[in-house]
């Protein structure tokens, strides 16, 4: 498939559909949006199948000098591939989730969603620094509209908070980018990834990028926009916010901060660890006392993202691979959890936990899937959550055993708040008559949770499918940052291997 501009096509399909959507009625817009996202999903699968695992680092490259100062350069490596797959996979689910719940201004809603999809894909595909920035920032506009128009009661406050917080983070990054391009003389990301900035400059650049990515991630203490935005966003907005938008922060760290500023990353690693430790414990405790289901899951997202950041700044392969797996798994699981909340919200129009109870009796199928995603969120072995969290924590243990110790409490606290949520919503007596009268999942809902559930299990049982495409990229990144890696306090020594052992599992399989 070399030479065929599949990446541009993936951007073009949702954009064209978005424009057409504006001229359609509600029904037409829904079907067109679903069709466009499914086409993009098929293209994404084609991308995966044609991706040469172990081949060139950058594949499917396109480059056209369309603009002054920067070029239209696209290309992906394994890391970007996986996040693109996550995006195109979640998008049809999002459209499905808003099939009935969004009733007002449907065509504009679908248009905003398709534009968001194109911009998110653009972020992961861009190979030019400023092209990346444009996609990165432009995503604010449709998300602002989605939260503000279709959100809940406090939507205006949430939309402002979301927009201004993330904008302030990003504009400083723009200045840093301008400086980098001025110094390195190129806007081409792969070149910049290999460019050595002086350690002193790295410190400032790293902080400017951190200002942006920490807000997007979001890291404690700049996470406060997230619960506000999540609670007020419509279900599909939450799914895409938690599923993909948060990954832009992690992607930023792995694509920019680490390879471009290795020394500064090492210098600031203890700060990241500290913030992440605080985040895991504090936000988990906050999640424990929430009465609002969406807020609870939003705070759990912050805790999970903290596991991502410790893994990224562990400076070893396990940590990096683990972070990627947590990001992918969290994309599926938190998306699925928001979907589960959305399903019962559509029936009862409240997110208050105490208004539910005993759903296991009248909604057994729902309870089953909700349990699966609850367990995946906790990180039970066999689900996707386990793989990533285990790798991340194993990685950070080598760098800082104390950080690993405290972050692991997040797993325990995670089990506490998730099981407590599940008990209050699904088990116990049916204390509310209207909740007891809710119908179980219909075919559309089963389809959505089923595909999510199967992927969660796939990623948990056979993670190699997802580890293989990024293995060589992670190895390259690890080699790049190895020179700055801080000395770990765990002093892990490898055991002696049995001589007859044969490595078999490392063939790319998907």
Partner 1 sequence: MDWSQSLRLIAPEETLSIAGLVLLLVAAWGGDKASRLISILSVAALVAAMALVAPALCGGAMGPDTSAFFGQFHADAFSSFAKILIYGSAAITLVLAPSYFERFNSMRAEYPILVIFASIGMGMMVSAGDLLTLYIGLEMMSLASYVLAAFLRNDGRSAEAGLKYFVLGALASGILLFGMSLTYGFTGSTSFPLINAALANGLPTGALFGIVFMLIGLAFKISAVPLHMWTPDVYEGAPTPVTTFFATAPKVAGFGLLMRVLLDAFGGQSAAWQQIIVFIALASIVVGALGAIGQTNIKRLMAYSSINNVGFILVGLATTTQAGATGMLVYLTIYVAMSVAGFTAILMLKDADGNYVEEIAKLAGLSRTRPGLALALAMVMFSLAGIPPLLGFWGKFVVFQAAVQADMLALAAIGIAASVIGAFYYLKVVKVLYFDEPADVVTGESDVWHKIILVFSCLFISPFGYLLTGWLGANAEKATTALLAAL
What does the binding site for partner 1 look like in residue numbers (CB under 8 A)?
Answer: 22, 66-69, 105, 108, 130, 133-135, 137-138, 140-141, 144-145, 148-149, 155-156, 159-160, 163-164, 167-168, 171-172, 174-175, 178-179, 182
Nearest approach, Cβ of residue 472 and partner 1 (Å): 32
| Residue 56 backbone dihedrals phi, psi, to 5 degrees | -60, 150
Residue (145 or 426) nearer to partner 1, CB: 145
Nearest approach, Cβ of residue 237 and partner 1 (Å): 14
Residue (216 or 330) nearer to partner 1, CB: 216
Residue (197 or 417) nearer to partner 1, CB: 197
Tell me how far the alpha carbon of residue 431 is from its chain's centroid: 36
Residue (264 or 394) nearer to partner 1, CB: 264
Nearest approach, Cβ of residue 260 and partner 1 (Å): 17
Residue (124 or 144) nearer to partner 1, CB: 144
Residue (144 or 188) nearer to partner 1, CB: 144
Residue (80 or 119) nearer to partner 1, CB: 119
The Cα 132–Cα 314 span in angstroms is 26
Nearest approach, Cβ of residue 75 and partner 1 (Å): 20
How far is CA 193 from each of CA 257, 317, 326, rounded to the nearest angstrom?
9, 18, 23
Answer whether 455's CB lies under 8 Å from 376's CB: no
Answer whether 352's CB lies under 8 Å from 291's CB: yes
Nearest approach, Cβ of residue 16 and partner 1 (Å): 14
Nearest approach, Cβ of residue 242 and partner 1 (Å): 23
Token pair in block for residue 432? 């509310």
The Cα 147–Cα 93 span in angstroms is 18
Nearest approach, Cβ of residue 140 and partner 1 (Å): 6
Nearest to 248 by CA among 341, 125, 161, 335: 125
How far is CA 377 from each of CA 226, 331, 382, rounded to the nearest angstrom?
18, 11, 12
The DSSP secondary structure of 451-490, one letter per residue, reads HHHHHHHHHHH-THHHHHHHHHHHHHHHHHHGGGPPPPSS
Nearest approach, Cβ of residue 190 and partner 1 (Å): 22
Answer whether 74's CB lies under 8 Å from 8's CB: yes
Residue (104 or 491) nearer to partner 1, CB: 104
Tokens 């959100």 sit on residue: 151
How far is CA 240 from each of CA 177, 254, 324, 402, 493, rounded to the nearest angstrom?
27, 20, 17, 33, 41
Residue (150 or 417) nearer to partner 1, CB: 150
End-to-end CA distance of the chain: 18
Residue (163 or 466) nearer to partner 1, CB: 163
Which sign does the torsion angle of CA 292, 294, 295, 301 carry? positive
The Cα 92–Cα 115 span in angstroms is 14
Nearest approach, Cβ of residue 245 and partner 1 (Å): 16
Answer whether 320's CB lies under 8 Å from 254's CB: yes
Nearest approach, Cβ of residue 148 and partner 1 (Å): 5
The Cα 334–Cα 456 span in angstroms is 11
Instruction: Name, in order, each residue with C-beta under 8 angstroms of 463's C-beta and a sequence gap of 6 or more.
Output: 325, 384, 387
Nearest approach, Cβ of residue 158 and partner 1 (Å): 11
Residue (131 or 456) nearer to partner 1, CB: 131
């Amino acid at each position: 498939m070399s030479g065929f501009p599949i990446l541009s096509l993936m951007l073009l399909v949702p954009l064209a559909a978005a424009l057409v959507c504006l001229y359609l009625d509600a029904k037409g817009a829904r079907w067109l949006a679903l069709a466009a996202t499914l086409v993009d999903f098929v293209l994404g699968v084609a991308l995966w199948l044609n991706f040469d695992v172990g081949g060139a680092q950058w594949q499917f490259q396109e480059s056209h000098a369309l603009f002054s100062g920067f070029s239209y350069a696209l290309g992906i490596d394994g890391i970007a591939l996986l996040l693109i797959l996550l995006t195109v996979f979640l998008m049809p689910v999002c459209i499905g989730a808003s099939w009935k719940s969004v009733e007002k201004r449907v065509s504009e809603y679908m248009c905003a969603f398709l534009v968001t999809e194109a911009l998110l894909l653009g972020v992961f595909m861009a190979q030019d620094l400023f092209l990346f920035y444009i996609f990165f920032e432009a995503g604010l506009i449709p998300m602002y509209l989605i939260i503000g128009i279709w959100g809940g009661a406090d939507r205006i406050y949430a939309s402002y908070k979301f927009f201004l917080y993330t904008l302030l983070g990003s504009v400083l990054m723009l200045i840093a980018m301008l400086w980098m391009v001025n110094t390195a003389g190129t806007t081409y990301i792969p070149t910049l990834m290999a460019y050595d900035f002086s350690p002193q400059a790295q410190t400032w650049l790293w902080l400017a990028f951190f200002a942006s990515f920490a807000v997007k991630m979001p890291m404690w203490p700049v996470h406060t926009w997230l619960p506000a935005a999540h609670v007020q966003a419509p279900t599909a907005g939450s799914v895409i916010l938690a599923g993909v938008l948060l990954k832009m922060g992690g992607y930023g760290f792995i694509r920019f901060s680490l390879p471009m500023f290795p020394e500064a990353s090492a210098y600031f690693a203890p700060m990241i660890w500290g913030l992440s430790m605080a985040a895991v414990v504090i936000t988990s405790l906050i999640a424990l006392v929430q009465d609002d289901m969406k807020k609870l899951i939003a705070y759990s997202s912050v805790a999970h993202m903290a596991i991502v950041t410790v893994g990224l700044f562990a400076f070893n392969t396990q940590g990096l691979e683990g972070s990627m797996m947590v990001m992918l798994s969290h994309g599926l699981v938190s998306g699925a959890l928001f979907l589960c909340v959305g399903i019962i919200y559509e029936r009862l129009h409240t997110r208050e936990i105490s208004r539910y109870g005993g759903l296991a009796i009248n909604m057994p199928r729902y309870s089953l899937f909700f349990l699966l995603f609850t367990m995946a969120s906790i990180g039970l072995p066999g689900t996707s959550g386990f793989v990533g969290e285990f790798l991340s924590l194993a990685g950070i243990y080598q760098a800082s055993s104390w950080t690993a110790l405290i972050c692991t409490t997040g797993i325990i606290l995670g089990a506490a708040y998730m099981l407590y949520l599940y008990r209050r919503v699904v088990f116990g007596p049916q204390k509310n008559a209207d909740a007891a009268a809710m119908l179980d999942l219909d075919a559309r809902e089963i389809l959505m949770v089923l595909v999510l559930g199967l992927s969660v299990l796939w990623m948990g049982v056979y993670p190699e499918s997802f580890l293989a495409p990024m293995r060589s990229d992670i190895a390259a990144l690890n080699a790049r940052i190895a020179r700055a890696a801080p000395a770990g306090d765990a002093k892990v020594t490898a055991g002696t291997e049995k001589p007859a052992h044969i490595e078999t599992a490392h063939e790319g399989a998907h």
